[in-house]
Structure 1
Amino acid sequence: MPNVRARPDACPGALRAHDAADGPLARVRVPGGAVSAAQLAVLGAAARELGRDVIELTSRGNLQVRGVRDTAALAARLEAAGLLPSATHERVRNIVASPLGGRGPRGVLATDPLVTALDEALRARAELARLPGRFLFALDDGTGDTTALDADAAHTPDGLRLAGTRLGTVPGDPVAALLAAAEAFLEIRGGAWRLAEVPDGARLVARRLGAAVRDTPPRPDPAPPHAGLLPQRDGLTALEAVPPLGRMSGAQAEALAAVADEVRVTPWRSVVVRDLDRDEAGRASAALAAAGFATDPASPWVGVTACTGSPGCAKSRGDVQGEARRFVDGLSRAPETPVHWTGCERRCGMPRGPVELRTAEGQQ
């Protein structure tokens, strides 16, 4: 029998905000992490003028605005900026992709066109609006970075994976196969939010797709926390920057918009600016560092993450953000093992892979 959740899926969106302890939380889906400079400027102004001036980066490469005072006004701004192309499907546009899109040393697949095609096809299928807000699609360019996330349905250069399980050849193009997998999940899900929650779910979906389950090699390790310059195979450079604890102010979002026409938000809570020459990369790195981003791979902010904590989360037992910041203040460089701070047993936002867990227990 499929796993049945005790409560319905309440994953927030831009139109259905989550009632957090510090006010409504609106999550904005950005497929493939792609956000234009104009959209960043809109988000920055909205966070400052309509919310608590906090934009959080999520573990699915999306963005969320905290403490929204006027959700209707926010939705109107998002729609005008092209960040809300579908009222019916806005919560199901969970698509992660390799941030370099095939440009890196190990990248062999251009994922950007696939992100666009998948998003458009997903929004065109009315029945897929019924997907849980936690169902995740992934497109890996061969780097292994998004494969490590064990998405519900992932396309890699080696073929389709379902909840981390590799399949044999699936007829049709990759987008069609991903959508067929999502439709099959809806048929078997019961009350499950993720394919991994359905007993033998990957095999059941594979059978519906007419594909065999293959031996799955060990899952690649998650991408280590990183900041700084990344080489591209075409001789250009990408810059990865880390906003402390995965949070930006409106001013920081606007500073990011000033250095690039488009950025990629990563599932490890950083941002990537691509296709820079060395001079442009140096100027962008200096500008973002001045705005409070970590652009040095040795920065203590690289490798330290935290949940929201009090007062933003009613379940937290302490001021997680404050404890994490005080911890970073005592470091001289990035920790060898990533450190995640949490305020309760749920461990929200904890990265995959080796992590040192710390709990903020003090009450506010």
Structure 2
Amino acid sequence: MLAAMPPTPPPSPKPQRNEPSARDRGDACPGALRLHAADDGGLARLRLPAGRLTARQVEVLAHAAETLGDGSVSVTSRGNAELRGLADGCGTELAALLADAGLLPSATHERVRNIVVSPAAGLDGLGGPEVQLWARELDALLCAAPWAAALSGRFLFVLDDGRGDVAGLGGDVTLVAVEAGRARLYVGGQAYHVAGTDAARAALTAAGAFLDAARAAGTGAWRVGELPDGHAPDLAGALARAGIAAEPVTPAASLLLYGGPPAPGPLGARALYVLAPLGRLTAAQLRALLPAEEVRLTPWRGAVVVGTTAGTDRLAAHGLITDPGSPWVNVTACTGRPGCAKSLADVRADAVPAPARGLPGAGTPVHYSGCERRCGHPHGTWVDVVATADGAYLVNGAPTPRTALHEAVTTARTTTTATTR
């Protein structure tokens, strides 16, 4: 049985943007075994490579949420799952439930299994199906490498099937399927072509090259973007030492494009995509996704139900978003009050889509943040709504009274004014 780890200490202050990070201790990112003490109870973050859940695992998560937590599961911006409101002392019971369901293959590596994959890969014929196989191989290699446990819980692998839906999600190591049997590997400003049969091994090798560079830099960097100038990973050397044939690609940056998420609805002939309002799935909503061959949680806080395109009316009746024209599409929020001590507002209540208040809502994604940390914000371009200490908000930097919030957000969503990060 896997034992629960002690709660995490409070996180270190975040470095200023565009400034190299100096970390004086290890990453305190929560996991399934190391719980975080939030204002609403314990928080467990469960890494799900490719977001994949079997039908049994869906039921186990629903059961854990009901019996140990607040009755819901949050879908994160990496397609992982969070349980909140966990009672004191339940860590060992939770670990046993998850381990028995096959959700904790490694007690030492559970926090580093951050692998985001194109959710529709192999389902709709638009991209290369092999990335799902790469993800499984990479996960196995990651868990089998003792040194990989030194990676931060924030280090991210991204595997794109060629459609560009996840390639721009800020991966530290990104693999893109470019043609049958070939992958493009990105790390920082470097890019190489490798054989598809070597893709997973190349991604793991790249992570090792990052750790070597981080140790040499001596700044305790958790992510590739935190490495100081002059300390880029020796990717070419690492691939060569691993016996992986690699062809350099230039210019690297121009090849990494962002295509955006799918719309709710059918994906090909055998899958259905739904969204969870503000990324929260109740236990009943989780069970409503079944029966399914598998469920894939997505970085856009939704779920791909594999094995059917039917049942949209039933899922909609459970409060899931099945209509691409729904006002809930592209509206996200952090936890906010009362769950987060740092939050200045109940942003989830304030983020109820504008149409529910009699206003039109569509256009650019919008994210509501309870403080300037902007936890869980989208990648690319979005309307940036941040709570302030005086009870108001900043909408793309403009001070906005709470009473005028939805008018300001609606205007911002239908103009070109937005935040890009």
- Normalising by structure 1, we get a TM-score of 0.90
Residues 84-123 of structure 1 aligned to structure 2 (within 5 Å):
84-123=104-143
Q: Indicate yes or no: 2:209 matched with 1:184.
A: yes
Residue 207 of structure 1 deviates from its aligned partner by: 4.2
What residue in structure 1 maps to residue 234 of structure 2?
204
What residue in structure 1 maps to residue 86 of structure 2?
68
SS in 2 for 1:183: helix
Judging changes above 3 Å, is the alpha-carbon distance between structure 1 residues 360 and 111 closer, same or farther for their aligned structure 2 residues? same
Residue 66 of structure 1 deviates from its aligned partner by: 0.3
Judging changes above 3 Å, is the alpha-carbon distance between structure 1 residues 155 and 225 closer, same or farther for their aligned structure 2 residues? closer
Larger radius of gyration: 2
Partner deviation per Cα, 1:9-39 (whole Å, 9 max, x = no partner): 1111000011111111101111111011111
Q: Is the 8 A contact 2:55 2:293 kept in 1?
A: yes
* Cα distance in 1 between the residues matched to 2:385 and 2:170: 24
* Cα distance in 2 between the residues matched to 1:245 and 1:54: 12
Deviates more, 1:345-354 or 1:164-173: 164-173
What residue in structure 1 maps to residue 411 of structure 2?
none
Q: Is the 8 A contact 1:60 1:94 kept in 2?
A: yes
What residue in structure 2 maps to residue 193 of structure 1?
222
- Give the number of the structure with larger relative contact order, counting CA–CA contacts within 8 Å between residues 6 or more apart: 1
Match of 1:305 among 314, 318, 332: 332
Q: Is the 8 A contact 2:163 2:259 kept in 1?
A: no
Q: Is the 8 A contact 2:167 2:258 kept in 1?
A: no
* Cα distance in 1 between the residues matched to 2:233 and 2:210: 11
* Cα distance in 1 between the residues matched to 2:261 and 2:361: 12
Residue 130 of structure 1 deviates from its aligned partner by: 0.9
* Cα distance in 1 between the residues matched to 2:369 and 2:259: 20
- Structure 2 counterpart of 1:323, which letter? D
Judging changes above 3 Å, is the alpha-carbon distance between structure 1 residues 4 and 162 closer, same or farther for their aligned structure 2 residues? farther
SS in 2 for 1:259: coil
Residues 131-150 of structure 1 aligned to structure 2 (within 5 Å):
131-150=151-170
* Cα distance in 2 between the residues matched to 1:179 and 1:44: 32
Partner deviation per Cα, 1:118-151 (whole Å, 9 max, x = no partner): 1111111111111110111121111111211131
Judging changes above 3 Å, is the alpha-carbon distance between structure 1 residues 207 and 309 closer, same or farther for their aligned structure 2 residues? same
Residues 178-327 of structure 1 aligned to structure 2 (within 5 Å):
178-189=203-214, 190=218, 191-200=220-229, 202=232, 204-210=234-240, 212=248, 214-216=250-252, 217=254, 219-224=256-261, 226-230=263-267, 232=268, 236-256=269-289, 258-276=290-308, 281-283=309-311, 285-325=312-352, 327=354
Would you say how many aligned residue pairs link Structure 1 and Structure 2? Answer: 353
What residue in structure 1 maps to residue 37 of structure 2?
19
SS in 2 for 1:168: strand
- Normalising by structure 2, we get a TM-score of 0.78
Considering only aligned residues, what root-mean-square deviation do their CA atoms show, in Å?
A: 2.2
Deviates more, 1:69-78 or 1:210-219: 210-219
- Structure 2 counterpart of 1:30, which letter? L
Judging changes above 3 Å, is the alpha-carbon distance between structure 1 residues 64 and 338 closer, same or farther for their aligned structure 2 residues? same
Residue 331 of structure 1 deviates from its aligned partner by: 5.8
What residue in structure 1 maps to residue 186 of structure 2?
162
* Cα distance in 2 between the residues matched to 1:241 and 1:164: 32
* Cα distance in 1 between the residues matched to 2:256 and 2:133: 25
| Identity of matched residues, % | 47
* Cα distance in 1 between the residues matched to 2:71 and 2:307: 30
* Cα distance in 1 between the residues matched to 2:358 and 2:135: 38
Partner deviation per Cα, 1:84-103 (whole Å, 9 max, x = no partner): 11101100111111111233
* Cα distance in 1 between the residues matched to 2:193 and 2:366: 39
Q: Is the 8 A contact 2:354 2:361 kept in 1?
A: no
Q: Is the 8 A contact 2:276 2:321 kept in 1?
A: yes
Judging changes above 3 Å, is the alpha-carbon distance between structure 1 residues 114 and 294 closer, same or farther for their aligned structure 2 residues? same
Deviates more, 1:336-345 or 1:354-363: 354-363
* Cα distance in 1 between the residues matched to 2:298 and 2:232: 26
Specify every segment of 5 or more residues in structure 2 that has no aligned partner in the other structure, as ranges: 1-18, 241-245, 393-421
Residue 243 of structure 1 deviates from its aligned partner by: 0.7
* Cα distance in 1 between the residues matched to 2:361 and 2:256: 25
Residue 54 of structure 1 deviates from its aligned partner by: 2.3
* Cα distance in 2 between the residues matched to 1:253 and 1:289: 13
Partner deviation per Cα, 1:44-98 (whole Å, 9 max, x = no partner): 1111110111211011110010011111111110011111111011001111111
* Cα distance in 2 between the residues matched to 1:265 and 1:331: 31
Q: Is the 8 A contact 2:210 2:233 kept in 1?
A: no
* Cα distance in 1 between the residues matched to 2:125 and 2:105: 34
* Cα distance in 2 between the residues matched to 1:84 and 1:164: 30
SS in 2 for 1:254: helix
Q: Is the 8 A contact 1:203 1:213 kept in 2?
A: no
What residue in structure 2 maps to residue 51 of structure 1?
69
What residue in structure 1 maps to residue 48 of structure 2?
30
Deviates more, 1:190-199 or 1:169-178: 169-178
Specify every segment of 5 or more residues in structure 1 that has no aligned partner in the other structure, as ranges: none
Q: Is the 8 A contact 1:225 1:338 kept in 2?
A: no
Deviates more, 1:352-361 or 1:338-347: 352-361
